Each structure stands twice: as structure tokens, then as C-alpha cells.
Structure 1
Amino acid sequence: MVNRNKLLLIEGDSTEGKLILEALVDPRASSFDVDWVRLLSDGLKRLGERKTGLVLLDLCLPDSEGIATFEKVFAAAPHIPILVLSRLNDESTANESLKRGAYDYLLKDHLDRYTLTRALRHVIERKRVEDVLFNEKERAQVTLNSIGDAVLSTDISGNVTYVNPVAESMTGWSRQEAVGRPFAEVFQIVEGSTHKPSRNPVDMAIAENKTMSLTPTCVLIRRDGLELAIEDSTAPIHDRFGKVTGAVIVFRDVSASRAMTIKMSHLAQHDSLTDLPNRVLLTDRLTQVISLARRTSEQLVVLFLDLDHFKNINDSLGHAIGDKLLQSVAQRLVACARHSDTVSRQGGDEFVVLLPQIAHVADAAVLAQKMMTALAAPHFIAGNELRINASIGISRYPNDGQDAENLLKSADTAMYYAKEKGRNNFQFFKADMTTRAVARQSLEGLLGRALERHEFVLHYQPKVDLQTGEITGIEALLRWLQPDRGLIPPPQFVPIAEESGLIVPIGRWVLREACTQLRAWLDVGLRRISVAVNLSGVEFRAKHFLEGVRTILEETRLEPRFLEFELTESVLMNHVEGSVSRLQALKALGVQLAVDDFGTGYSSLSYLRRFPIDALKLDQFFIHHITADPNEAAIISAVIDMGKKLKQRVIAEGVETREQRNFLQVHGCGEGQGYYFSHPMAAEECAKLLRTGIAKNRQ
């Protein structure tokens, strides 16, 4: 370890060496630990031991003279301060040694104890200060080279004086290339949004003598053209008197964090499944558009769209398929809209379309119909051919609401009215719809408690053999006897039950009640007929539906052949492949299957051949017109013939007159059902009818 007071005296003259030695070991002065050698070679050996802290060197030695003496010592110990001893007549050589690294020189002609010790103390102190400064500089250099931020400094003229490794990487300029160049050449920055040049932060910091920062969207253009989003802080550099001498800029690459911020902002305002604007962004845009429309006295329109029976698909095929369908729906809606429109997903199967600056309200109706047509086309997803319709409510500014909340509420109300009108249509908001919406919400609340309060009852309507007049079966029809409102018709509450999912437990109750009642009639010896139960799409595609049917049949001891399920065409065609497999499972159980309201959907003969159907129930719309419209009569005749060829029973619904019955008899229709034969009735009345049969004049 080096001792700063360990002095190596290299002096060839014995007399002068002794004088110097005596001066340095004087007890009145601070002592030095002096090692005296007379030859340069011995001095170099001592330096090799690395224990010396200071060298006092005479340039004229027995084995070396002149500047070469200094060079050899300096080469052996470049970091040890060297104080040269010289004669007045050789002062030029001493000066040359200063240029080559000596700390100072002393003239032997003017050397005394005070001068010598003072000079040595000065050299030691200078060396100490240099070491401190070097360590501080080295620590700063290491810090600047190792930190994650880029650092670049300039002089007062704006020329680069320092570039750390991170700055080299970010600017594309090496330190050797950058130093001395104008700051603006090395550090090229532009505004991220406009790509216009940004103000030079160094010039601003120097001119205003304060810390400055770039704009938040600033972009650094690297030497190779790559653009990097950056954040910075630029500060002026001052000398010891407070004068500005340059500037330093510390900056970092925030491309990843800025991209993440943009992504997070996008996610906060867009639906993750469809990437459409979500409720938050829609509300913001709607508020802005309303503000503009208020100033310009323009109209705007909101369309609230809800998919019909989407839950059936989600429950039967799973959420993965349901999500794909929602994405397909979103794409078609966007394709229908204008560039200025906003198509958003509110959640679930609800979408909202904002139409700003619309000249004619009729244009909204055109778009609504366009969207309904686009959605109705088959969606081919994961090998499934899916069909979906939509109900759309339309509200207008300023007629139907003065703010975003009320406009959306009005459109939502109109959408529910469209569902009540049979779905797959659009409705403009009207003031009286609000009253109906409130009534609907009230009804939904009552419906949720109706099952546990035993408010449901079943009525039964017979099906009759049109040739013999014999009762062939009965259809179980759900009725809701609400204590405060009386008998509520099925069209008023069944759609609500389907949308809320309550139809599943209600349907399970209907099935159990119908099977229990028929088993009771069979047990007392009444006519051996079947009971038909209507099946909604929600029930048909419910996860444990088949197991539930099997359990109820076992618990009620009813043979499966006495149970018939009626399903509409739309339910069967919603997902053909899934319908086929479920129907086959029901047939394997032994129950009968019928297509209800046949003729109102979009099934085809090829599909009917694939379904294991036992009966076709002709929709009452055709029956009501067969005696007045030859076209309807021709359709009925064709369907009856088709049913026979497919070996399926044909049942006419809604038979109300003798003329209708006669027409059906003549054309070979097998069975009929309707008011002509009997109204739906309670179980007690139905039991009497099963005992007596249909009146002769109605057969």
C-alpha cells in the first residue's frame, strides 16, 4: 500500500543528499519516511516495490543524465508525483520535465529546509486533491455510463461535449462522432402528432437559464431514421461563479410505456371482444355530438340493437361459439354504417349505433332495415350455420331526449317494444312506450315470484281426428293467474320469461304438471292419449334438458310415447346440426316430436327430412284464409300432401268454422285443433271431455 509520506530521494551527490536528508528528518518539521538511493537503477527497483508516495529526483545521476532520467522514472511510476531537482544552469531541462508530467522543480542553488518541505507539502496536497477529483470524476463517469437514462451535454455554443453509452444507442451517434458537433445535428426531435420540428431544449435551457422539458408527445429520430418516443429534462450548467457554460439533457426511451398507455387507453374505451367502442366511449361521443347538434340545430339518431334468442346459441353451443358470432355481428354492423357513425357494443348481445348529423329520420329506418337484413344471412362459425335476428329501437335528438342518458334510455325502450311486436323488427320511440316499459319491468318482477307462489296453471285443448271425431291428444297450455292482475295471457309474459331465463324452471314445472295430470287420467281409465307440451328454444338448448325430461318421465311413471314436444321452425333452424342431434336424443327416449306453427319459418324440405319429426302443425294463419283465398288453400293442400309423403301426421291449428273443418277433411288432413272443437279448459273440464268425447255436431 502506498504511503503518501514515503519519499524516494534519487540523488547521486552525497553531500547534497545528506543536506536534503537532514532537512527532511528535522524533528521540528513534519517528518517524511525517506528512502535515499544514488543510482537511477536502484531508484527504479524501489519504484517497482510500489511503496513510494513521492519522488524527489535529481536529473544528473551517475548512471543517467538529463530529460531521459525523468522519462525513465515517469514510465516506471506515472501515477506518483515527481519533484525534479535542478541547477540554475539546467533550468530548461527542468521546464521540459514539467511538460512531460513532473509536478514541479526546485533549484538546488536556492534550496533550504523551508522551501523544500513547503514544496513537498504542496505536491502531496496537490496529489491528494487530484486523486479526490479523479475519483469523483471516475465515479460520475461510471454512473453516467451505467445508468439506464441517456445523457448528453453541450458547451455554451450548443456543441456536444459528452455522450454516454445509452445516448449513443438512442441517437445512433458514437461519442467520438458526436463530440464537437451541433446538438441539433445529433439530437433530432419532432412533434409526434405532426412531425414538425420541436424547439431545441438545450437552446431554451441556456437562454432561459432554467430546467426545461420537451412536450409529452416528442419523438427522437435516430440517425438511421428509427423513431423513439422520449421524455427528457434539460438543465443549464454553471461555472463556479454561476455563469451558464452549457447544458445537459437527460432523456429516456418511453416508446414501450407510451405504447402501453395508448393500449390501456384503447382498452378502457373499447370492447375487448369486438374492438368496438364501449359504453364509456359511446357516451363521450354521444355527449359531444349532442353539444354540436345543439349549436347547429341538427338532428342525430341512436339505434339500440339487441340480438333475438342469442342466449339459445350461447347456452347450447358454448361461449366460444357465441363470442365468434358476436364478432361476426360486429363486423356486419360496421360494414353497414357510415364512416361518421359509431357502432358500439354495450355488453352481452346489445349494440348501439350513433348516427350524427342525419338529414332525414327516414334514413335511420333504411339503415336499421339494412342491418337486420345483413344479420339475418347465415353466419358460418366453426362448422355451424347460425342464424340470428335483431330487434332495434330508434330514438332521435332532440325529440326523444336532451342528453346521452335519456337518448339511450329511449332507444332501449323502443327496442323492447320491437321485441314485444314479435322481434326481428325496428321501432321508433314514442312517449307512451315509457309507460309500457315500466309496466313490463313490473311484470318481470312479479314473474320472478310467480312459480314459488304457485300462480301458474295449465289448461288443456284437445286435438281431434278429422275423419272420426275422436280425441287423439291434448295440448297443455300455460296460464298465469296473478292475484292482483287476474289471468295474464302468455304473449305478455312468455317472451319476458325467455329473455330472463325463467322459462327453464317454468318449462320444467309445465312438463312435470302435464305428465302428472295425464298419468292420473290414465290411472282412472280415461282415453289413452298423448299430451303435447310447447318447448322454447331456451329450454331445448338448456344444458341438462334431456336429463330433466328423463327424470320427470320416470318420477311421474309416464311412458315416453304419451309425451309430445312441439317446437317452432325458428327454434329448429337456429342451429340445424345441434337441433338434429338433440331431436335424435329425444326420439331415442321414445317421445313424439311436432313442428309447431309450420309455414311461418324458413325451413325447407331437405331440412325436414333430416329432422326425426312425427307431426306438422299448420299455422292458424293459413287455416283462417283457406275458404277465402285460393292461394292459401293451395298451400294447405300441398303441405298435407308433403306430410303424407314424409309419413308425418298433419295437424291443423286454429280451426274455428265448419267450412274450415270440411276443407281439411276433403283434403285429407289428419287432425284438427281449435275453438270449433273446444276452447282450452281447466283439468277438471278436460277430464269430463275425455269421458264424453267431442259433441256429434262438432265432429
Structure 2
Amino acid sequence: MPLALTVADRAAYRVERVTGLADALARLNQDGFDVVVLDGALPDRHQSVAALRQATPHALILRFSAEHEGGIEWRVVGDGTQGRITRDDADADGFLPTLATLVAHRANQEALHLSEARFRSISEASPLGIFVSDDQGACIYTNPAYHEISGLNFGETHGTDWSMAIHPDDRPGVLAQWHDALRNQTPFQAEVRFVRGDGSVVWTRLNRAVTQDGAMCLGHVETVEDISQRKATEAVLRAAEDDLFAERERAQVTLNSIGDAVLSTNMQGSVTYLNSAAETMTGWPLADALGRPLAEVFRIVDGTTRQNAPNPAQRAISEDRTVGLAANCLLIRRDGTESAIEDSAAPIHNRDGQVAGAVIVFHDVSKSHAAAIKLAHLAQHDFLTGLPNRVLLTERISQAIGLAHRHHAQAALLFIDLDHFKNINDSLGHGVGDQMLKAVAERLSRCVRATDTVGRLGGDEFLILLPEIDQPEDTVWVAEKILASLATPFLIGEHELHVTPSIGIGIYPDDGIDVDTMMQSADTAMYHAKSKGRNNHQFFTSEMNARVVRRLAIESRLHRALKQGEFELYYQPKMDLVSGKMTGAEALIRWHDPELGLVVPEQFMAIAEECGLIVPIGRWVLREACRQVQTWLANGLHAVPVAVNISALEFRHKDFLTSFALTLKETGVPPRFVQVELTESLLMHNAESSMAVLRALKRMGIALVIDDFGTGYSSLSYLKQFPIDTLKIDQSFVRDIVSDGDDASIVSAVIGMGIKLKRRVIAEGVETQEQRAFLLAQHCDEAQGYLFGYPVPAKEFALSLDQQVHGLRE
């Protein structure tokens, strides 16, 4: 019969006995029992145990055993019971407490099984991988999540070390961290790479802890989280951050490398950024400026009124558009210094397109303003002298004419040209010439009133405007003052230079009622002053226009004449006064103009000099004379030396000697057949330089003649040093030597000087036998003039050479 035992608590027990299986089942259905003890002789024990197990699944089912083995045997046997006891044990006093202990033990086991089942359920449902190892570190459990993460099943992990799956490169570091955590009794966590079963790599986060019973280590539990996605996201974010950093760095470098200053503000008008240029221009470092009001950092005022200028950032924000800074603004730096600036401000928008602030871009325009002012000045002033140029002069003349017209008054223009100034440039160089022009400009400025204007038209031409005069004669004292001022020598470097002006005067309204006419009248009067001997002043007259028109016509035709070969050389003989034989000839230029006819040098050479054609014309004369002499020699004629006149501009030209030597070489003429005639005034102007050129000509084998001797100033010391071969007495002295005692004395003195200096002397302009006789009596060597022959073309002169050849043969 089964024995039922109910344990209420450890101090009280309730025991019931039933006689059959049916009674037991009925009783069990009514109340719960902790232990059921079966009679060992119970028939069909297996079926009975099964029925009892169904009726009370949680009860401990034991059976009596006839064998006495001492104590209760606790084990599951084949019939389904969970232990056996002997009848002697059942009668013992400690039986019931033992059963109670068994019941408690069983409850503990069931709780343990339940806990293990719960752990397994949680473990298998957990997304975290779980790796459980014993105290030696060998794996005793892994959950499905660990299998998924590691790519290994339990069979592959069982018994392995917990660090087996860690990437070899990460393993040493992780183990070192783990041992440090053990030693310091601190939590362990690490992010490492796992090498999966298929060789792929996955990023994981490990948490590993020790399971202990007191101080005893029972094993370890490791949780594994797959963080590959997070790592990938972090990599993307890191790349994005790197890109953003690089972009910001590029933007920062760009902003700091550009010349413009950049400043930004938020909606409240506080400074949020300055680049390097903005720091420099405002004087505010970024760290000091951040958060400060814009008006404190970017302080701008109107350059004219000195009032605070409108804030461009506020306008850009309020109007939501790009705006420019008001003109003429000054930025006041932190230290109080000022600079002119130009800028623009634009709104800054957020992602939603709303205005979030403003950015101001500005730059210093102080230098450009200064440059603009300078350019404006240069546009109206002469770069060399600083005087008003033609543009500003024209404007002021126009204003003066308008003012004079309204007041029924008069105004005057003085056109000033420096006589022979080109000689200074050609002989001493443009550097000296420029210094001379500046000195002249200073002297002219001291000759006028503050209300008058002195300007430079260009080259050596100056213009003086007298806007208010009572009568034309008022201009005379200005002109005389100019003549006196320029008469004093100029000391330019080591040179003492002289210059004289030719001054033309035009009066409004008599000589013109507009700017062009006034300037033309003064210009015309200036040329009239030159024709009057220079170094004087002349008022404009209507008769001058005809001469000006003719001069302009000649100037334009001279250019054509040089190109189209309208020039021709005539040759006039030079005769020995004793033997009567031809000793040489002078080449004289003639111009055959299609409309004007034959034009003599007196009518065009001065114009050629003024318009810059004298040098190319002079070179043509030399080349043509050399070519002609060589032709005569080739034709067997008894050629004589031919003299060519060299102008001052040609003589002072930097290429004169080179061009002269090249002409001799190209024509092939022997140098002894070429003579050069130079005026004494030309030679005495910068005598040292003249000496060098003369000696160079002598080294070429050229004979040198001083033309028009006696008409200028000569230094006897220089005259003695100059390598001159012949002195040529000017015809103005020869003309009246028979009737004028002074002229006769001068000619006699020149001849005597020539004899003393061992120079040949030739008299020009000899037209009568009386003149010839006088010269012969004074022992003059040669003569030239109509008495011996007129200037004739080369073909006609060749006949004289041919006759001389025949005369020599006879």
C-alpha cells in the first residue's frame, strides 16, 4: 500500500496511508503531497508509478525494498521511482527528517534545472554571443549568437580557449588588457576583430568576467557583440568627418591665403569668424573677436562726414540679399589707424533656406585710391616736370576763355620753345636734357603769378596761361622776365649749359576765341620769334599765317622729297688763289619740288631741322657726295676733295661716327676726297665732346674745315687744340673788304691767325677781282664764290673736272 507524506514545514509532518492505487490517486487529486512511498510488492509497478507521476508530477516517488542496505538510496530506477528505502529505515526516528531533506534537495535541484533552463532560453534568445569557459579557460558552452558571430558551431568551440577567435594582430593586446583587469580586479571590455570560420573578419565588442564562489574561480563568461555595422558606420562617419575636416581645412587655408578679409556674424550681429586678413585689417585676433558685436570689431565711418557708416551685415540680413558698402568708407582699426576699404555683405542661409547670419568680404583700397589719385594727376600733369600737361592746359585755357568772355576781359597765351635744345639731348644724352627741362620748368614757374598756369606741351615746348590781363602789353613784362631768367647759365651735373627761349604770344579775343585757335596763334608767333633770331618774344599777327601755311606745306613735302628722291647735290669749286687751280668743291643741296620748283637750302633746311629731318637729309648728302666722287674717280676724272656741311644735330647724334664710317666703306671713296665743314659755334658747344669727334674723323683721314669762321665765339686755346685743317672766312666779311676797313681788318686778322696756327684759310663769297686781289695780297690760300664758278649739278661739274684733266695734260 502506498505511503503518502506531506511536509508542511521542517518542524511538522503529515503522513497518510492508503491501501490501494485507486485510493492513492483519489487522495492525490484532492491534496498535494511531497513524497509518495510505494509498497515494493505493488503489482504492475511501472503502470502504477506512471499513474502516480501523472497525478502528482512534482512529488518524490520512492518504494520500499526488502533489502537492507543501510540508509536511503537516492536514484532513479527502472520502474520510474526515484529511490528506495527499507522498512527498517521507515521505522527509524530520523526517517521523516531525512525525507524532508530529500524533498528540499529535490526542490533545489529542480530550481537549479529551472535556472539552467531559464539561462539556456535567455542565452539562446540573446543577440549577444555568449562563451562560457571553465576555470582553465576551456569552452564549456556557446550560444547560437556566438555561433553566428564566430561562424563556428559548439563542436568547434567546445574545449577551445576563449581568445581563439580573436584576430592574431589583436590577440596580444587583448590578452594584456585581460590580465591587467584580473590583476587590478577591474571590468574588462575590448573591441577586437574576430576571424570567422570562413576566414572573414568581423568587428566585436567583448565583455569578459570571472564566475566565482567566494575566492574560488569557477570559470569565465564572455559576451560578444557584433559591432561590424557600427564600425562601418563609424568608418563612414569618420571618412565624412575627415572629408569635412579636409574641406574646412581647405576653406580655412583658402580664406587665410586670399587677399580679401572675411568676417561673419550670426543673426544677433555677433562676430563668428575672421580670417587672417580680417584679423590684420581690424586688429582683432579671432579669439578676442568671437561673440563681440560687429560694430566693435568692424568699425566703419564715412570718410567725409566722419559719421558711423551703415552696417552692411544688418542690411544683408534684413534684405536677404548681397549689398555693397557705402562709398568712401574708412575702417578704423583696433589701434585707431584708418584705411579706406571696399566691401560687400551677403546673407548666410541654413539648411532650411532661412537667413542665419551674414558674411562680409572687404579689402584695403588705400593704395588703389592713392594710385587712382596719382593716375588722375599723371593724366593731367607732365610726368617729368610735374607741370600741367596738354589735357589740363586745354581745360584751363577753356575756363579762362569762358571767364574772360563773361567779364569782357582779355587773356594771354605764351608759347615757349627752347632754342637748339635738341643739341643738348644729342650731345649729352636725354638724362642731362631731362634735368635741364626740370630746371627750366622751375624758373618759368617763378616768373608768373599764383593765378597763372605754367604747363609743358612736350619736348622742349612750354605754355604759360595768363587768365587775367588788362591789356596785351601786360604780357611783355612776363616775357622779358622769362628771357632774363633763362639767360643765367644752368649747372646740370658737371655741365654749365646755356639755353634761350623763343616766345610767341597770343591774345584772347583778338588772336582767337577758342582753345585751338589761341594755341595755334601763340605757336605761330613763336616760330616768328625764331625767324627773328631766337631769344626774343613776338606777338601774333595775321601776316604770320601765310608764312605758317607755307612752312607746314614745306614740312609735309620734305618727307615726300626724301622718300621719292627729289633732292640733288650741286657742286661749287674752291680755287687756289696763287695757281688758279681747282683745289676742291663744296656739295650744296637743292630740292626739286614738283609744285614749288627749285628750292634752295635757306628755304627748307631750318624747317628740316625743326621737324627732325635734318639728320636723314644730312646722311643722304654725305652718301651722295661720296658716291659721286667715287663715280668720277671710276670714270678717270681728276676728282677733287668734296666738302659736306654737317649740322649740329647730325654731329651730336649718337650714331654719327658709326654712320660716317659705314658710308665711306660702302661707297669705297678714299677718305682724302672727303672734307667736313662745321660751324665754330657748333664746335664750341661742349668743346670737349667736339674734340673727341673731331679726332675720330681725323683718324679716318677726313679733312676738317671751320665754316663761317668769325661769326661766332671761339676760344683760341680750343682752336689751337682742334685738329682743324682749314679756316673758312664767312662771306659777310668778304663782301665789303674793299670798301669797309673793319671788314678788311677782320679778314686780315683771320688770315694772319691761320698762318700763325699753320691752318689753310679759304674765303667764301668772292665775286670780284678786287676781292681776289686783296685776299691774294694778304696771303689767303683759297677762295670760293661766283667769281670762280656757280654751284652746278654733278654732270656739269664733271665737265670742269674733265677740262682740268686736259689742262694738266697740256
Pairwise same-fold verdict (TM > 0.5): yes
* 1:361 is aligned to 2:475: yes
Q: For the residues of structure 2 that align with 1:599 and 1:196, how far apart are their CA atoms?
A: 77
**TM-score, scaled relative to structure 1:** 0.65
> Which runs of structure 2 are paired with 1:131-146 in the superposition (5 Å)?
143=251, 146=254
* 1:45 is aligned to 2:190: yes
Partner of residue 362 from structure 2, selected from 224, 230, 251: 251
Deviates more, 1:663-672 or 1:333-342: 663-672
Partner of residue 456 from structure 1, selected from 542, 556, 568: 568
* 1:680 is aligned to 2:795: no
- Write the letter of the residue equivalent to 1:480: W
1:303 is aligned to 415
- Write the letter of the residue equivalent to 1:456: E
Partner of residue 566 from structure 1, selected from 666, 677, 680: 677
1:282 is aligned to 389
- Cα deviation, 1:479-537, whole Å, max 9, x if unaligned, reads 334454333221112234443122321342245446756997963xxxx9754432323
* 1:220 is aligned to 2:331: yes
- Cα deviation, 1:449-480, whole Å, max 9, x if unaligned, reads 55755662514254563x88877654443333
1:644 is aligned to 755
Query: 1:647–1:259: structure 2 CA closer, same or farther, 3 Å change rule?
Result: same
Partner of residue 619 from structure 2, selected from 484, 491, 504: 504
Q: For the residues of structure 1 that align with 2:286 and 2:561, how far apart are their CA atoms?
A: 82
Query: 1:175–1:309: structure 2 CA closer, same or farther, 3 Å change rule?
Result: closer
Structure 1 residue matching 2:621: 3-state secondary structure: helix
Query: 1:187–1:559: structure 2 CA closer, same or farther, 3 Å change rule?
Result: closer
* 1:576 is aligned to 2:684: no
Deviation at 1:182, TM superposition (A): 4.4
Structure 2 residue matching 1:151: 3-state secondary structure: strand
* 1:594 is aligned to 2:720: no
Q: For the residues of structure 1 that align with 2:309 and 2:732, how far apart are their CA atoms?
A: 75
1:607 is aligned to 718
1:443 is aligned to 554
- Cα deviation, 1:82-107, whole Å, max 9, x if unaligned, reads xxxxxxxxxxxxxxxxxxxxxxxxxx
Deviation at 1:264, TM superposition (A): 6.2
Structure 2 residue matching 1:458: 3-state secondary structure: strand
- Write the letter of the residue equivalent to 1:355: L
Structure 2 residue matching 1:252: 3-state secondary structure: strand
Residue pair 2:455, 2:464 contacting (<8 A) in 1 also: yes
Deviation at 1:145, TM superposition (A): 6.5
Partner of residue 398 from structure 2, selected from 291, 295, 306: 291
Query: 1:687–1:210: structure 2 CA closer, same or farther, 3 Å change rule?
Result: closer
State the structure with bigger RCO (CA 8 A, min sep 6), 1 or 2: 1
- Write the letter of the residue equivalent to 1:550: L
Residue pair 2:641, 2:675 contacting (<8 A) in 1 also: yes
Deviation at 1:590, TM superposition (A): 3.7
Unpaired runs of 5+ residues, structure 2, are 1-116, 129-147, 150-180, 195-201, 206-210, 212-226, 228-232, 405-409, 805-810
> Which runs of structure 2 are paired with 1:347-358 in the superposition (5 Å)?
349-355=459-465, 357=467
Q: For the residues of structure 2 that align with 1:194 and 1:569, how far apart are their CA atoms?
A: 68
* 1:324 is aligned to 2:469: no
Q: For the residues of structure 2 that align with 1:603 and 1:44, how far apart are their CA atoms?
A: 115
- Cα deviation, 1:601-629, whole Å, max 9, x if unaligned, reads 34322221221012222334445577888
- Write the letter of the residue equivalent to 2:439: R
- Cα deviation, 1:254-292, whole Å, max 9, x if unaligned, reads 4565566666666766777x3757xxx834313421332
> Which runs of structure 2 are paired with 1:607-626 in the superposition (5 Å)?
607-623=718-734
2:282 is aligned to 171
Q: For the residues of structure 2 that align with 1:235 and 1:210, how far apart are their CA atoms?
A: 6
Structure 2 residue matching 1:603: 3-state secondary structure: coil
Residue pair 1:624, 1:655 contacting (<8 A) in 2 also: yes
* 1:343 is aligned to 2:451: no
Query: 1:259–1:446: structure 2 CA closer, same or farther, 3 Å change rule?
Result: closer
Q: For the residues of structure 1 that align with 2:334 and 2:389, how far apart are their CA atoms?
A: 42
Deviation at 1:251, TM superposition (A): 1.6
Residue pair 1:443, 1:493 contacting (<8 A) in 2 also: yes
2:132 is aligned to none
2:74 is aligned to none
Query: 1:249–1:486: structure 2 CA closer, same or farther, 3 Å change rule?
Result: closer
- Write the letter of the residue equivalent to 1:328: Q
1:494 is aligned to 605
Query: 1:345–1:52: structure 2 CA closer, same or farther, 3 Å change rule?
Result: farther
Structure 1 residue matching 2:284: 3-state secondary structure: coil
Deviation at 1:327, TM superposition (A): 1.6
- Cα deviation, 1:26-48, whole Å, max 9, x if unaligned, reads xxxxxxxx99xxx9965753599
* 1:534 is aligned to 2:645: yes
Query: 1:487–1:295: structure 2 CA closer, same or farther, 3 Å change rule?
Result: closer
Query: 1:194–1:351: structure 2 CA closer, same or farther, 3 Å change rule?
Result: farther
Query: 1:596–1:485: structure 2 CA closer, same or farther, 3 Å change rule?
Result: same
Deviation at 1:310, TM superposition (A): 2.5
Deviation at 1:567, TM superposition (A): 0.9
> Which runs of structure 2 are paired with 1:662-673 in the superposition (5 Å)?
671-673=782-784
1:121 is aligned to none
**TM-score, scaled relative to structure 2:** 0.57
Q: For the residues of structure 2 that align with 1:453 and 1:140, how far apart are their CA atoms?
A: 77
Q: For the residues of structure 2 that align with 1:624 and 1:53, how far apart are their CA atoms?
A: 129
Unpaired runs of 5+ residues, structure 1, are 1-13, 26-33, 55-61, 63-79, 81-124, 693-699
- Identity between Structure 1 and Structure 2 (%): 39
Query: 1:364–1:198: structure 2 CA closer, same or farther, 3 Å change rule?
Result: farther
> Which runs of structure 2 are paired with 1:507-522 in the superposition (5 Å)?
507-513=622-628
1:6 is aligned to none
- Cα deviation, 1:404-443, whole Å, max 9, x if unaligned, reads 5555555555555555556666555444444434433433
Residue pair 1:515, 1:563 contacting (<8 A) in 2 also: no
Structure 2 residue matching 1:612: 3-state secondary structure: coil
RMSD: 5.8
2:155 is aligned to none
Q: For the residues of structure 2 that align with 1:137 and 1:187, how far apart are their CA atoms?
A: 28
Q: For the residues of structure 2 that align with 1:235 and 1:403, how far apart are their CA atoms?
A: 52
Partner of residue 664 from structure 2, selected from 546, 550, 556: 550
Deviation at 1:444, TM superposition (A): 3.9
Deviation at 1:547, TM superposition (A): 2.3
- Write the letter of the residue equivalent to 2:278: A
Larger of the two Rg values belongs to structure: 2
Structure 2 residue matching 1:168: 3-state secondary structure: helix
- Write the letter of the residue equivalent to 2:275: N
- Cα deviation, 1:166-224, whole Å, max 9, x if unaligned, reads 32222121123223544344334456689886555456657877644234544434334
Query: 1:386–1:133: structure 2 CA closer, same or farther, 3 Å change rule?
Result: same
Query: 1:216–1:553: structure 2 CA closer, same or farther, 3 Å change rule?
Result: same
> Which runs of structure 2 are paired with 1:325-474 in the superposition (5 Å)?
325-338=432-445, 341-344=453-456, 346=458, 349-355=459-465, 357=467, 359=469, 360-362=474-476, 365-366=479-480, 369=483, 373=487, 377=490, 379-380=492-493, 394-417=505-528, 427-448=538-559, 450=561, 456-460=568-572, 462-463=574-575, 465=577, 474=585
Residue pair 1:521, 1:687 contacting (<8 A) in 2 also: no
Structure 2 residue matching 1:45: 3-state secondary structure: strand
Residue pair 1:191, 1:197 contacting (<8 A) in 2 also: yes
Structure 2 residue matching 1:334: 3-state secondary structure: helix
Deviation at 1:22, TM superposition (A): 7.4
Residue pair 1:282, 1:342 contacting (<8 A) in 2 also: no
- Write the letter of the residue equivalent to 2:568: F
Query: 1:42–1:405: structure 2 CA closer, same or farther, 3 Å change rule?
Result: farther
Q: For the residues of structure 2 that align with 1:331 and 1:405, how far apart are their CA atoms?
A: 26
2:78 is aligned to none
Residue pair 2:414, 2:464 contacting (<8 A) in 1 also: yes
